[in-house]
Amino acid sequence: MRFSFALATLAAVCSVQADNILIQVGANNALTFSPSNITAKVGDTIAFQFQSKNHSITQSSFASPCVKSGVVDSGFQFVTPGQAQLPQYSFNVTDLNPLWFFCAQTNPANHCNAGMVFSVNANETSPKTFAAFQALAMGNSGAIASSVAASVVASVTSAAAGAINTATSDIASVVQQGTSILPSVISDATSVIGNGVSDATAAAGAAASDAAKAAGGLIGAGVRVNANSLTFLVGLGVAVHLLL
């Protein structure tokens, strides 16, 4: 019972997810499929409603748009003016690969060469776009080249944008690392300067003390000591202490 319920639920989900896509063939007596380029997912049903003249939906390939290649082929579906019951042909989408189609009618004119083609899941970011397929069917090599060139430009632009983003990220990383190291460098430099000042101050104090003692000794010995002599003794003492 539970298994049957699970199957029923799965079937209901699948039926909800799958779409029925209607394509009008020859609407308003035009040599067109409408729409002529669609995106479909696996499980979707594509139905072609023939509305005028005598058309077909025939599978081909991108390389040879007007040559039958594949299993999908409705055959010619003749429609008289004012016909109430319009013929239909449908098939199910089984994968996401691009599919290419054309109208095989060549009397009184070649419909494929007139641009009556159709595609499913054409990759619009590659050279194999619907526009390129239609241009190839119509023998328009200039349009094909333009489509290919546009695809190449898009690819190059995307690659350049990626390179710029990478370079910007690298520069930001270097700046961030430099910013984090800078406080440590400043701290080390400040410490070195502080130690130097401290050493110089201590040396000056010791030298002044020694100079005072030396001056006292000289004065006690009867030697006259003036300011210049005392300054010399202090400077000499500082130099000696710093060297030691």
Measured CA to CA, the distance from residue 104 to residue 77 in angstroms comes to: 11
For 135-181, the pLDDT digits (tens) are: 999 996 444 445 555 555 566 566 666 666 676 676 667 557 656 66
Whole-number pLDDT of residue 86 = 98
Q: What is the pLDDT of residues 90-135, one digit of tens each?
A: 999 999 999 999 999 999 999 999 999 999 999 999 999 999 999 9
> What does the domain layout of the chain look like in residue ranges?
2-139, 161-243
Q: What is the pLDDT of residues 184-232, one digit of tens each?
A: 756 765 665 566 556 656 655 665 666 566 656 655 666 565 555 555 5
Give pLDDT, residue 17.
83
CATH dotted code for 2-139: 2.60.40.420
Tens digits of residue pLDDT in 21-53: 999 999 999 999 999 999 999 999 999 999 999
224-243 average pLDDT score: 55
Model pLDDT for residues 50-60, shown as the tens digit of each residue: 999 999 999 99
Average pLDDT over residues 232-244: 55
